[in-house]
Amino acid sequence: MVLVHGVPTLNTLYWTEDQPDSFCLKMANAAGLREGDLIAFGHTHKPWHREVGGMHFVNTGSVGKPKDGDWRAGYMLVEADQEISAVDLVRVEYDLERAVEGILRSELPDEFADQLRAGGTPNSPSCLEDVFSETELPVLSFSETHPTGRITDGFLVADLP
C-alpha cells in the first residue's frame, strides 16, 4: 500500500476520477506499484475507487471538508489478507450543527460552515480558488511552471508524458 496526498510526483496536483486508465498506470509506475498493490490519495476531497491492471486506485475522500455533496465524514475501508478483497466507502454521521457552530466561533471564514452543511458543492473551490477569487486566479504557464500539469474544471491535474 502506498499513501500520497495528491499524486506520487507532486502532492499539490489533483487526481480526479475522470482521469483515463493510462493516467492511473503512469501514476502506478511513478509509485513503483505492482499488480495487487493499492495507492491511496486525497487532495480533491471526493472519494472514489477504481481497479486498473490489477492495482487499486483509491481517493479516500474527506473527514472534515467533503466536496462531494455529502456532509458526513467519509473514509475508505480496505479489507485484505494476502490480497485486497474489498474497498468500501464508509460514511459517519456526527453532530453537524455543533461542528458548524465551532467554525462560526473560530477564525475560519464563515463560508466554511455553509460549505460543510452542503457537503461542499460540485463546484467547490479548488486549492487555487481557496487562495484567489475567481477573478484573481493566476494565469499559469505550465510549460514553465508545471510541464506535466494543466487546469481542468478548476483543478490542477498531472499530465505525465
Ranges 6-20, 100-114, 145-159, most confident: 100-114
What's the whole-number mean pLDDT along residues 3-21?
88
As a whole number of angstroms, the distance between CA 161 and CA 147 comes to 10
pLDDT band at 120 (very low <50, low <70, confident <90, very high): confident
Q: What is the pTM of this model?
A: 0.71
CA–CA distance, 57 with 35 (Å, rounded to integer): 12
**What mean pLDDT comes out for the span 24-44?**
93
Mean pLDDT across the stretch 138-150?
A: 39
Q: What percent of the chain has pLDDT over 70?
A: 75
Q: Between 50 and 140, whose confidence is greater?
A: 50
pLDDT class of 121 with cuts at 50, 70, 90: low
pLDDT tens string 59-75: 999 988 888 999 999 99
Spatial separation of the C-alpha atoms in residues 16 and 158, rounded to whole Å: 10
The DSSP-derived string for 96-149 is HHHHHHHHHHSSS-THHHHHHHHT--TT---HHHHHS-GGGPPP--TTTS-TTE
Residue 143 has pLDDT above 50, yes or no: no
Q: For all residues of the chain together, what is the average pLDDT?
A: 79
Which residues form the domain of 26?
2-158
Residue type, 26: K
Q: What is the pLDDT of residue 151?
A: 42
- How many structural domains compose the chain? 1
Question: Rounded to whole angstroms, how far apart are CA atoms 41 and 14?
Answer: 10
Q: How many Å apart are CA 35 and CA 18, to the nearest integer? A: 22
Tell me: pLDDT of 160 over 60.
no
Hey, what long-range contacts does 124-131 have (CB within 8 A, 24 or more apart)?
Answer: 124/45, 124/67, 125/154, 126/14, 126/154, 126/155, 126/156, 127/12, 127/43, 127/156, 128/154, 128/156, 129/154
Question: Residue 37 in contact with residue 55, Cβ under 8 Å?
Answer: yes
Q: Is the pLDDT of residue 123 over 90?
A: no
> What CATH number does the domain containing 111 carry?
3.60.21.10
Interatomic CA distance for residues 130 and 36, integer angstroms:
36
